[in-house]
Structure 1
Amino acid sequence: MTARTLMIQGTTSDAGKSTLVAALCRLLARRGVKVAPFKPQNMALNSAVTEDGGEIGRAQAVQARAAGLEPHTDMNPVLLKPNTDTGAQVIVQGRAIGNLDAQDYHAYKRIARRAVLESHGRLAARFDAIVAEGAGSPAEINLREGDIANMGFAEAVDCPVILIADIDRGGVFAHLVGTLALLSESERARVAGFVINRFRGDIALLQPGLDWLERETGKPALGVLPYLHGLHLEAEDAIESGQRGASAGALRVVVPVTPRISNHTDFDPLRLHMQVDLRFVYPSETPPPADLVILPGSKSVRADLSFLRTTGWEAYLRRYLRYGGKLLGICGGLQMLGQEIHDPLGLEGETGSCAGFGWLDLSTVLEPEKQLRNVRGELTLENAPVTGYEIHAGVTKGPALERPFARLTDRNDGACSEDGQIMGTYLHGLFESNAATDAILRWAGLAEPETPDYAAIREAEIDRLADAVGAHLDMNAIDRMLDLNRQGVYA
């Protein structure tokens, strides 16, 4: 018996699709349902390495954890990673197939659709239920032809759809009714109900609007979810710049926000660290004083390096290093620290080369086969154990690698400068390892770091979200949509 699928679509981006899917995965898994998340097409620069050695959107990796699963490429068969304003690297079932501009990708959708349905079919054969997530809004008229991300997928697999809207933005009823009005007749019939997200206040004041909504559309409001202050889930793409209050005398950590910053979820553990004052610095802002500067990953390393130069960061960093500051580069940030970056095939933009900052004696060549792996080992700092993952096309060589940042189980990683001021690594997710984070913070000047257990925080936040959704959503309606009273699931 194959799984039933329920799809969550939103009236806008950031309406709450990802969080609702994660919550439903946790709620169903708690009840013994074998449930898997699924997102046909995702556009994001935050990604994760899967158990089968591929790459998917970070949000689907979080949803997999909520379901008690290891992430798998079938959970997000098409991932688009923008490298310009009009083009993106296209990743299909975990593997990059090349760069396409918007027009070329539109033509490619027929092929992508096959991959989407293949992956969904494999999950449906393995699980009791699938909770799928749409992308953006189903009412984007210009993208309707050949759609595989929203209603096009829902129609292909014949699944019900819940439409979620964010009341905190304002205009929630206009969002819901307007979206419904822009759907085709068959698509409107597929919408099984509405969810209103991020509500704060007296529910009695909202009730007249809910009654009107049901009369106007003939569809039920399935739940009004509360605004959860301080909720932390790893972001699909948008940078979560807020921080839980740092203590007095906290270590000042600065991260420049470049146009193609990637995997900025690397910094979530620092954002939640009470002894760290983490600042994302945007292009319009002046870099503040810092104890540690971290150059983040990038989807277009040469372009982001040029951006840092034209916005004054190179001069800032030279001055900062002259006065003893500590500098760490992660992935693309490591490549920037070297002598040269070569892109002979134009994998991230125009073909060519550029000079790096020149602070580590290494050079990088971008090659077509992306390196994707989950790794473990220990830092050369204090021999601290570390786990992480690699997602990069660059192959880096040079004498600086003889002073590695980490010793992994099968090789060394990264480099450290002779004076100990500068370090670079390919390891994403390294701050999720407590001992490694403590060692890096001590290196940067924090005398007695007390790093919280990030994995435990993440689990607690997923549980908190699931508890709130379970208390405010009509779960009986969810059971009916997924037909979970079938024999073999639960009675």
Structure 2
Amino acid sequence: MTGRAIMLQGTGSDVGKSLIVAGLCRLASRCGLRVAPFKPQNMSNNAAACSDGGEIGRAQALQALACGLEPRTDFNPVLLKPETDRRSQLVVHGRAVGAQEASLYMTERHKLLGRVLESFDRLTADYDLVIVEGAGSPAETNLRARDIANMGFARAAGVPVCLIGDIDRGGVIAALVGTRTVIEAADAAMIRAFLINKFRGDPSLFEDGVKTIEAETGWPSLGIIPWLSAASRLPAEDAVSLERPQARTSGTLKIAAPMLSRIANFDDADPLRTEPGVQFDFIPPGQAIPRDTDIIMLFGTKSTLGDLDFLRTQGWDHDILAHARTGGRVFGICGGYQMLGQWVHDPDGVDGPAGSAPGLGLLNLETRMTGDKRVRPVTAYEAGSGDPLTGYEIHTGRTTGPDTARPFLTLPDGPDGAVSADGRLAGCYVHGLFANDDFRQRWLKQHGANELADQSYGEAVEAALDTLADGIDAHIDFERFLALAETPGWTPNASC
């Protein structure tokens, strides 16, 4: 190993590990270090396509962007994509290798540690610093045996750990001290420091709390990171905000998206949510799609058949069909596109439970799932204008039928998607469309938006990463953080 590494673990899920890693990656990159992100095992249906045809968790793609890198399968060697509450598709080194029940995976996951270390070794050979993100919490001692995501990896690879506690959820002293109490001594020895995240108010009021944690654990504090608003301007990987849908704001285009149970790549919505002339609502289970919605969007899903059933259970099928019958617009991406057709067939259960089910019947097409999963970045052309745009595909299934004669896009190897004869119903397989500024703003104008952003979406994400990095840098001892990784050859410069 030529480079050095440090691992960020958390006292629980959603303590901010992913975004802190992204911010630290940007800071280290600005200091002149060749830095890369790494997550041994991730569980998410939000994925990004790599240029070699593999896929990784979306958070690692954002972290790679923070480093100035293209997504690489080594950044996330094991990815679990939930199909049901008890079964996930297993992706290793970017390739789907089948589906496993949770109980079987938990019994056999240690067999993947060698594959994880292969990726880690390649990264430490190529980069000065690797910043590693854990998963969940090391305090889940019932999961410690055969672990490859937290302390099992840290000890196997000899990587020091910084533990993150989330003060916003309350009980952060108990969370950090409790972690030290319940984990075994050899695991506790891997933890060299801790961070407090999401602090609101005057941090001096928590000085005694920090002293208590230091005294009880023997770990030093690296700082208290405040609640950083820049985080809300970055793509989320594992959750979306489920605020109650709002009443229409005068002059806005109202878009609503049902929150499917296995929703995937919902970050397709992020560029739309930043537009000042758009009101975008995710509709939680148990709530109807508002009648004053202009466009209903159906996003991707890890199990099209499973989410078709879920959609019907919620009564959303009636809302969507009524919306379409009264002249409303519906747009589907990937699994959402498949749902718009007449039938979805999955005889071999490659995308969840085996079987067939009628779709919403809004487009004259049908989909058959196959074991041939397509994962690739693409350059596409809008069928109507011929204008180029970039995106990516991650899907199983092939869709055919009369309405595909009116494609939404043209790809290098053929047409993609379908559009109804009146143009109000459409869908395609390509993700990332709305990150293309010209396409997004033209599409929104065509659908009635009257106010558009004056900054490109890519520039906005880059600016948010810089602001996130600045906020972290202002509140932690970054030199001390790097020293924990024993990074060789690092010399501070003015940007640090």
- Equivalent residue for 1:238? 239
Change (3 A) 1:451 1:357: farther
Partner SS for 2:398: strand
Q: Which residue of 2 aligns with 1:221?
A: 221
Name the % identity.
47
| Corresponding residue of 1:161 | 161
> For the structure 1 residues 192 and 404, does the alpha-carbon distance in structure 2 shift closer, same or farther, using more than 3 Å as the test?
same
Structure 1 counterpart of 2:382: 379
Q: What residue identity is the alignment partner of 1:324?
A: G
Asked if residue 365 in structure 1 is aligned to residue 368 in structure 2, the reply is yes
* Separation of aligned partners in 2, 1:322 and 1:380: 25
CA distance in 2, matches of 1:221, 1:245: 45
1:120 aligns with 2:120: yes
Return the offset for 1:293.
Answer: 0.6
Length-normalised TM-score, structure 1: 0.96
Tell me which amino acid in the other structure corresponds to 2:324. Answer: L
Aligned AA for 2:234? L
Alignment of 1:220-369 (within 5 A): 220-229=220-229, 231=231, 232-241=233-242, 248-288=250-290, 289-369=292-372
Task: Kindly state the Cα deviation for residue 210 of structure 1 after the two structures are TM-superposed.
Answer: 1.1
Greater CA drift, 172-181 or 440-449: 440-449
Alpha-carbon distance between aligned partners in 2 of 1:125 and 1:272, rounded to the nearest angstrom: 39
In the other structure, the counterpart of 1:390 is 393
Which structure exhibits the higher relative contact order, with contacts defined as CA atoms closer than 8 Å and separated by 6 or more residues? 2
The CA distance in 2 between the partners of 1:460 and 1:141, in whole Å, is: 39
Distance (whole Å) between structure 2 residues aligned to residue 80 and residue 263 of structure 1:
14
After superposition, residues 2-151 of structure 1 pair within 5 angstroms as 2-151=2-151
Q: Tell me what 2:475 maps to.
A: 472
**Paired residue secondary structure (2:372):** strand
Q: Which residue identity lines up with residue 250 of structure 1 in the other structure?
A: T
Distance 2:458 2:47 in 1: 17
- Say if 1:169 and 1:2 are closer, same or farther in 2 by CA, change over 3 A: same
Structure 1 stretch displaced more, 371-380 or 327-336: 371-380
Residue 244 of structure 1 deviates from its aligned partner by 12
Output the CA distance in 2 between the equivalents of 1:197 and 1:476: 18
SS at match of 2:397: strand
Asked whether the 8 Å contact 1:372–1:390 carries over to 2, the reply is yes
Structure 1: gaps of 5 or more residues: none
Paired residues of 1:138 and 1:179 also in contact (CA < 8 A)? yes
Q: Deviations over 1:209-257 (max 9, x none)?
A: 1122212222111110011135322112111346999963110001001
CA RMSD in angstroms, aligned pairs only: 1.8
Q: Distance in 2 between matches of 1:2 and 1:51?
A: 26
Q: After superposition, what is the alpha-carbon deviation per residue over 1:315-358, rounded to whole angstroms, capped at 9, x for unaligned?
A: 21221112110110100011011111111111123321111112
Paired with 1:194 and 1:450, the residues of 2 have a C-alpha distance of 39
- Superposed CA deviations along residues 247-306 of structure 1, whole A, max 9, x for unmatched, are 631100010011111111110111111110001111111211211110111111011111
Task: Give the secondary-structure state (helix, strand or coil) at the position aligned to 1:2.
Answer: coil
Q: Secondary structure at the match of 1:154?
A: helix
CA distance in 1: counterparts of 2:475 and 2:96, whole angstroms: 40
- Higher mean C-alpha displacement, 263-272 vs 149-158: 263-272
Q: Is contact 2:4-2:128 (8 Å) kept? A: yes
The aligned amino acid for 1:421 is R
Give the TM-score taking structure 2 as reference length: 0.95
